[in-house]
Amino acid sequence: MGLPRVAGFRASGIASGIKAEGADLALLLSDRPAAAAGVFTRSRLPGAPVLVSRRRLRSGHARGVVVNSGIANVGLGSAGLRRAEAMCELAARAVGCGGRELLVASTGVIGEPLPLAKLRRGIPAAAAALSRDGWPAAARAIMTTDSVPKLETSRYRVRGHPVRVLGIAKGSGMIEPDMATLLAFLVTDAAVSPAWLRRLWRETVEATFNRVTIDGETSTSDMALVLANGASGAPEVRGARSPGARGLREALLEVCTELARSLARDGEGATKLVTVEVSGARSRAEAERAARRVANSLLVKTALFGQDPNWGRILQTLGAAQVRLVLERVEVRLCGVPVFRGGGAAGPAARRRAGARLGRPEVEIAVHLGAGRARARLWTCDLSYDYIRINAEYTT
């Protein structure tokens, strides 16, 4: 099986010296102007690249993205904005496009200035390395504490035209997107109007990347971008009834869902991917609040790491979530095993079965609140000793 490709797009990832070792500079480029949309962090301390890219996306079009890892370019005021703009200008000159046609993203340590001398050398090298097969290298170059690169693809057909969607993402800690530390970049050779792409992208991000939490922390640099260049030759998607609209929606959801699950699976120090499902809530908002409370509970996450089927930890955090529940109807399942139902424990045999299943690399917590019909789902991970080690040593 060959390397992933999307018609009309090239990518690269190189080592420019921003990080002490490894690749740290990526370039993603469309051969032609593309429709573009983005969703960004709602943090009141956004990074300079967020401010620059958000402003540039008002046009609804872009040619590509230049991304560095190792330094986040956050908390530096006007100097940070100048460096973010300089990254775009350097990349535009290197690839031969207009200065305002490129977007910019950065991730890494907060408060340190980007080394422009290294970027002046590195960006032309990244441009020279652009390739149809460069996506694995780009996925590696945007990593920080990630243990593995994250890349997913999907394809569908519209009136005989094959259409492809490809996405890369990074994120391992400081993750509870509120948009949308994660960066995600998707490209597709579908033709999509900017207005419809913007609407569809917001819906996709809400259903996928906004369903992830590692540690309850929202990054200053969260950014999820999508570019659609129409190189497939398929008819343009302008709305829900356009040819190919359903295929595009499903492909974006498929790629982003798998990337979101990969982010949770690769949480800093994680040993388990955890799915939290809450049903029987009085409203969607209460289902969401209950799910996030469970997914972010340090007591629940450490119990999962220790394979301890302690349903009491789950009930106590649900009680603190201030959501409506009817205890006699509440049911808690761990990996499919009911451990609490009908107002009481399911017994020691159920606990033993659940404890054994918690040793799996993927586990599920399912809670029914018995108060309504609303539901919510999130992905998270357990909390291990290594999470503390990684974050205690992050800048040293």
How high is the pLDDT of residue 363?
Answer: 96
pLDDT at 43: 81
Q: Which of 41, 107, 144, 181 is catalytic?
A: 181
The boundaries of the domain holding residue 286 are: 273-392
Active site residue 181: yes
Cα gap 62→53, rounded to integer Å:
10
Residue 2 covered by a domain: no
| pLDDT given at position 147 | 86
| CB neighbour list of residue 296: distance below 8 Å, 6 or more residues apart | 176, 213, 215, 216, 380
pTM value is 0.86
Query: What is the pLDDT at residue 385?
Result: 81
Tokens matching residue 160: 């005989």
pLDDT of res. 102: 97
C-beta separation of 297 from 289 below 8 A: no
- The pLDDT of residue 234: 97
Q: Which residue has the tokens 């890369």?
A: 168
Q: What is the CATH number of the domain that holds 373?
A: 3.10.20.340
> How close are the terminal C-alpha atoms of the chain, in Å?
41
Q: Do 99 and 197 sit in the same domain of this protein?
A: yes
Shared domain for 282 and 163, answered yes or no, is no
Tell me how far apart the alpha carbons of residues 182 and 167 are, in angstroms, rounded to a whole number: 13
**To the nearest whole percent, how much of the chain has pLDDT over 70?**
94
- The residues near 123 (Cβ < 8 Å, ≥ 6 apart) are 16, 25, 27, 66, 87, 90, 91, 94
The verdict on 248 and 277 lying in the same domain is: no
Of 38, 8, 10, 1, which is closest to residue 137 (Cα–Cα)?
10
pLDDT per residue as tens digits for the range 329-357: 999 999 999 999 999 999 999 999 999 99
Is residue 84 within 8 A of residue 78, CB to CB? The reply is no
Q: What is residue 1's predicted lDDT score, i.e. its pLDDT?
A: 47
Regions of the chain where pLDDT drops below 70:
1-2, 172-181, 214-219, 391, 394-396
Domain match, 120 and 60 both: yes
Looking at residue 381, its pLDDT comes to 86
The predicted structure's pLDDT at residue 178:
56
Pick the last residue of a domain from 206, 237, 265. 265
Round the average pLDDT of the chain to a whole number and report it.
92
